Every structure is written in C-alpha cells, then in structure tokens.
Amino acid sequence: MSRWTVLLPQPVAAKALELLRRQSDLEVIVLSPEEKERVFAFLPRAHALLVRSGFKVTKEVIDQAVHLQVICRVGVGLDNIDVEHAKKKGIAVYNVPGGNATSVAEHTLTFIFALAKDLFWYDRRVREGDWGSRHSYRALELSGKTLGLVGFGAIGQEVARLGLALGMRVLFFDPFVPCDVLPGAEKVANLCDLLAQSDFVSLHVPLSETTWHLIGREELRHMKSEAFLINVARGAVVDEEALYEALKEGWIRGAALDVFSEEPPPKDHPLFSLPNVILTPHVAGLTKESTERVAVQAAERVIEFFRKLRGECCGESKN
C-alpha cells in the first residue's frame, strides 16, 4: 500500500487538515456541506473515515466502504457509529474523549448560573418594561447548594471542580468510578439518592441501552420541587415527554438542555412552549478552542493508526 485515503464527510479545523495533508502516505478527501450527498461515491476509496456528530456511520456506509480500516469520531461518544458492525468487519473505531471537556463543563456551569439567577426570566421582564420584577427575589446563591453529577468521566469531573470552587457540595453517581477519584466530591450509592439530595442534577453519561431514558417520570419525581435538571450529554438520556410534564406541572423548577432526542428538534416541540427551560443547539463542546483540539487529536489518532500499520506491513520493530 503506497497511500491510504482519509475521507472526511464534513470539514474539520484547518490545523487538523494541515496535519493530515503533511503525511506523504495519506490522500485526504474533504467534502463540503454542499457535497455531503456525494459521500457514497467516495466511500469505496476510503481507508479511513474521520467523522463529526452530524454524519451517521451506518451499516450501509460501512458496507460501501470496502477498504475501510479505521473510523475516528471527532469528539466524544460513538452513538453516530454502528460500532458492532464495524467490529465485525475488523474495522478499528476511535474517538477523542476529554478533548472538549473544558468547553462542555463551562457550558454546564453557564446553564447552572443562568438557572440559579433566572437570567432569561429577568431579561424578558426588562424587555416588557416590568422593572418591578427585580423585587421578586427569584435568584439563588450557588454556594452551599448541592450539585449532583450523573456520570463522572472527564467532563463530570471538570464540572465538579468548578462546582467545588463555588462552594457547592458535589455528589456523583457512576458505578465505574472509584469514590476517591476527586477530593471533595462524594460518591452516592444509587441514582435515586443523588436525585433526592441535589439542587442541580447534571447528566454526563454516554447514550447506551442502559442510559436510554435514564431520567424518566419516576426519576423526575425523586427530585426536589425547587431543583433543576441539566442535560449536555445525549438527548435520549432524558424522556422528553416526562420532562415536559415535570416542568409544566412543577415537579421540578426548571431545566436546561443542549441536546435532544431528535436533532434538530421539530419546530413544534412541546418544550419550546415552556418558560422554565433553557435550550441550546448541541453547542456545549463547540468552542473555537475545543473544535480545533478534538480535530487535531482525531487526526493524530488516524496518523498513528497508519504509522503502526505501515510498521507491521514493513516488519518494523514496535519499540
């Protein structure tokens, strides 16, 4: 094999593309948003796929890419990739966990501040000329409040550090993380305990069979009536119908969502009609810094994959 072809169905940061194009043994094909429908024409040439969240690597895509050897997700999570089918075909699958942890954690904290201070409610009152609303005393202090984190990987731990710095009590529920992983954060035995104790519940788990609708009616009923729910993980982790009911009927005080079960959500989504929910379009990890960082890390993974493959093909030492 003289050259391998790396196919990008969507553009990524220029620094990552430059890194790939500097490799003499790689041919890099990048499709623009206008060309995305042409991806199937290029799949038979691809040895590597470098994809963002907007491109679904389905069974059909994998079967069309007859020379495919590696798939790398530019970001966290693999829910847009048919990982099982890829593995059956002997295709390596990677992502870059932690690359956008700071950005997602800061977005989470922004949600927490906006909910606690009721910023959007006050903004609407000022625009309507209701200056007297300043005496409604809706805002809360974060110091002394309890922050519950469901999932305690790189992002959850970064949110915890920010919460602890604000004087919050931080709880976490994650069966796969030891209790002493972060000084100051307290591990709880089960999800219901965390929900019942927390003033803010923030979700940081991948989407899987076990986390689908992890937060439903029963879980929302366990939360305090003055508590807030934040989801920057994956939309389907929350039962959106149940959340709508909880927000409308006052089971909880408010919510903030960066992700939805269907993206983009339909224009008539029930949550759009509620004043006590803040919505952003899956941008928690999309800062200038993190977008470049994860793209470069993904490019480096692909380069390293083919470097090792060339070494194996040429009988070079792995040391």
**Which residue among 125, 217, 282, 292 is the active-site one?**
282
Backbone angles phi, psi at 98, to 5 degrees: 90, -15
Which CA distances in Å does 149 have to 167, 172, 309? 15, 5, 40
Partners of residue 172 on adjacent β-strands? 149, 187
d(CA 71, CA 43): 12
Place of tokens 């954060």: 185
Burial class (CB in 10 A: 0-12, 13-18, 19+), 135: exposed
Sign of CA dihedral 185, 285, 212, 267: positive
**Which residue among 234, 253, 293, 301 is the active-site one?**
234
**Which residue among 18, 263, 312, 316 is the active-site one?**
263
Burial class (CB in 10 A: 0-12, 13-18, 19+), 180: exposed
Which residues make Cβ contacts (< 8 Å) with residue 8, sequence separation at least 6?
17, 28, 29, 30, 31, 49, 50, 51
Backbone angles phi, psi at 93, to 5 degrees: -130, 125
Identify whether 234 is a catalytic site residue: yes
Which CA distances in Å does 281 have to 113, 169, 234, 265, 285? 18, 29, 12, 9, 11
Structure token pair of residue 248: 């409308």
Identify whether 282 is a catalytic site residue: yes
Cα–Cα nearest to 275, from 244, 237, 234: 244
Count of C-beta atoms within a 10 Å radius of residue 234: 24
How many secondary structure helices (H) and strands (E) does the chain include?
11, 12
Catalytic residues, by residue number, are 234, 263, 282
